[in-house]
Amino acid sequence: MNLHRLLLKRQSEGKPIRVAVIGAGKFGSMYLHQAPRTPGMVIHGIADLSPPRAREALARIGWDAALIAATPVTEDALSLIADPQVEVVVEATGDPAAGLYHARHAIRHGKHVVMVNVEADVLAGPVLAREAEAAGVVYSMAYGDQPALVAEMVDTIRAAGFSVIAAGKGTKYLPRYHASTPETVWDFYGLTAEQARAGGMNPRMFNSFLDGTKSGIEMAAIANACALAPPEDGLLFPPCGTAQLPNLLRPHNEGGVLPRKGMVEVVSSLTRDGADIPDNLRWGVYVVFEGETEYARRCFSEYGVATDNTGRYAALWRPYHFIGLELGVSVASAALRREPTGCSTSWTADCVAVAKRPLRAGEVLDGEGGATVWGKCIPASRSRATGAVPIGLAHGVALARDVAEGAMVTEADLAPRPGGHADEAIAMRAALAALAG
């Protein structure tokens, strides 16, 4: 409740938070748009695989020529991270193995890390969180992205003494979307490929949102940050509007769809026949909680709290989020309060690769948003027991044997990996398994 005051204080003292941004894509660009408008915060430098493209992005989002010229843009992310003036590193590359590598480098150099890269967080976030704690720095989810917003709502509800029954987000979902590829994705959005190209839309990114992968990744992150459980065989994506949240997202033996209390789930903005739900939560987040006493339930009724038909279960939701435009909250919280806006502390859930179609030995997996696999959120215990391949490591590796459509890809299905940053990611996964026992 005091971040703005603390930012103004740093501004008045001439000691702004100096931030390094790694990756100037959509999310990073949204943050970079807001940062110059935020008191007490300065972009010390930007690292991107294509500095010319990054500078074009800065011009597109409204930076003036003088600010662009004064802000270093480099391909050398490691040197920028190690710069002693940098206080907070924003990792926004979207590459899971690179994200782990950059975050670990930042922690070793005493920098706070804001992990926009949810894919990296789901791969080994609890390991990074433990390393950051040992180093005396903050490892944080990215405010503005849905996992951090859900974590905030869960924390608020629990701090008020209520039990969380379910938490998650909304999305546009139909079962057939799981088979979508970058070649077919625009049909589902009602666009032509030419329109998408003109709008600068990335087909893999949009396909990840459509085929359920991004939802699986984000729910795994929420589960790991909030000690909530994923469904045993993946998210259900039940059609649901805001008015039905507390009725639907309650235990199945009380008329809902949940196997038990304390779950993550994603609700669809579409009925199964493809019709829009009028009060849908496509862009938003929610939490369902329980009034455990008659007095609490009476208060819900007196103050217009949205409840189920029994008055026992209540829902709180936020209809939309601002993505990178809100990221400064995480940067300020890490630097000024030394507190994360959500942090993965346990390995409760994993997001694993599932075959979109029959896959043949010798085929190379193309990972998140691709044509071969989509990501399913399952319990981490099941992932460990089956040797499932996480979606973040299902890219650029060949299959050693056939995999049936709808089957989880396992490590036994893979040919030897080519190496690179993936080697460190695999080692961190082993450390994660050791932490989980």
Which domains can be identified in the chain, with CATH numbers? 3-143+324-337 (3.40.50.720), 147-173+212-320 (no CATH), 349-436 (3.90.1210.10)
Rounded to the nearest 10°, the torsion over CA 7, 333, 60, 192 is -150
Whole-angstrom Cα distance, residue 310 to residue 325?
39
Instruction: Return the HEC string of 201-237.
Output: CCHHHHHHHHCCHHHHHHHHHHHHHHCCECCCCCCCC
Residue 417: its pLDDT value, please?
A: 85
What does the DSSP 8-state code read for residue 311? S
Q: Are 196 and 250 in contact (CB under 8 A)?
A: no
419-434: burial string, b at 16+ Cβ within 10 Å, e else: eeebeebbebbeebee
Strands (E), 103-185: 112-115, 139-141, 163-171
Mean pLDDT of the chain: 96
Provide the pLDDT confidence category of residue 365 given band limits of 50, 70 and 90.
very high
Residue 199: its pLDDT value, please?
A: 67
The encoded tokens of residue 257 equal: 């769809």
The length of the chain, given as a count of residues: 437
The enclosing H or E element of 330 equals: helix 328-332
Residue 391 confidence (pLDDT) above 80: yes
Q: What is the pLDDT of residues 3-45, one digit of tens each?
A: 999 999 999 999 999 999 999 999 999 999 999 999 999 999 9
Which are the contacts of 368, defined by CB distance < 8 A and separation ≥ 6? 119, 204, 208, 213, 214, 217, 375, 391, 392, 394, 395
Q: What is the pLDDT of residues 279-291, one digit of tens each?
A: 999 999 999 999 9
The enclosing H or E element of 22 equals: strand 17-22
Q: What is the pLDDT of residues 323-338, one digit of tens each?
A: 999 999 999 999 999 9
Q: What is the pLDDT of residues 371-382, one digit of tens each?
A: 999 999 999 999
Residue 317 confidence (pLDDT) above 90: yes
86-105: burial string, b at 16+ Cβ within 10 Å, e else: bbbbbbbbbbbbbbbbbbbb
Mean pLDDT (whole number) for 414-418: 89
Which are the contacts of 34, defined by CB distance < 8 A and separation ≥ 6? 324, 325, 327, 328
Mean pLDDT (whole number) for 214-238: 98
Q: Are 391 and 373 in contact (CB under 8 A)?
A: yes
Whole-angstrom Cα distance, residue 233 to residue 213?
14
Whole-angstrom Cα distance, residue 257 to residue 249?
6
Residue 191: its pLDDT value, please?
A: 85
Which are the contacts of 395, defined by CB distance < 8 A and separation ≥ 6? 365, 366, 367, 368, 370
Q: Are 344 and 214 in contact (CB under 8 A)?
A: no
Residue 189: its pLDDT value, please?
A: 87
Provide the pLDDT confidence category of residue 200 given band limits of 50, 70 and 90.
low
Whole-angstrom Cα distance, residue 231 to residue 339?
30
Low-confidence winner among 85-99, 280-294, 308-322, 408-422 (lowest mean pLDDT): 408-422
Residue 418: its pLDDT value, please?
A: 77
Residue 212: its pLDDT value, please?
A: 97
Strands (E), 291-333: 313-318
Whole-angstrom Cα distance, residue 264 to residue 268?
14
Provide the pLDDT confidence category of residue 1 given band limits of 50, 70 and 90.
confident
Low-confidence winner among 32-41, 190-199, 220-229, 378-387 (lowest mean pLDDT): 190-199
| 290: phi then psi, degrees, rounded to nearest 5 | -115, 135
Q: Is 234 left (phi over 0), alpha (psi -120 to 50) or beta?
A: left
Residue 427 confidence (pLDDT) above 70: yes
Partners of residue 73 on adjacent β-strands: 46
Q: Are 382 and 204 in contact (CB under 8 A)?
A: no
3-state secondary structure of 270: strand
Residue 192 confidence (pLDDT) above 70: yes
The encoded tokens of residue 366 equal: 């193309």
Q: Write the DSSP string, 93-121.
A: ---HHHHHHHHHHHHHTT-EEEE--HHHH
Q: Write the DSSP string, 36-85.
A: GGSTTEEEEEEE-S-HHHHHHHHHHTT--HHHHHHS-EES-HHHHHH-TT
Whole-angstrom Cα distance, residue 400 to residue 168?
36
pTM flag (> 0.75): yes
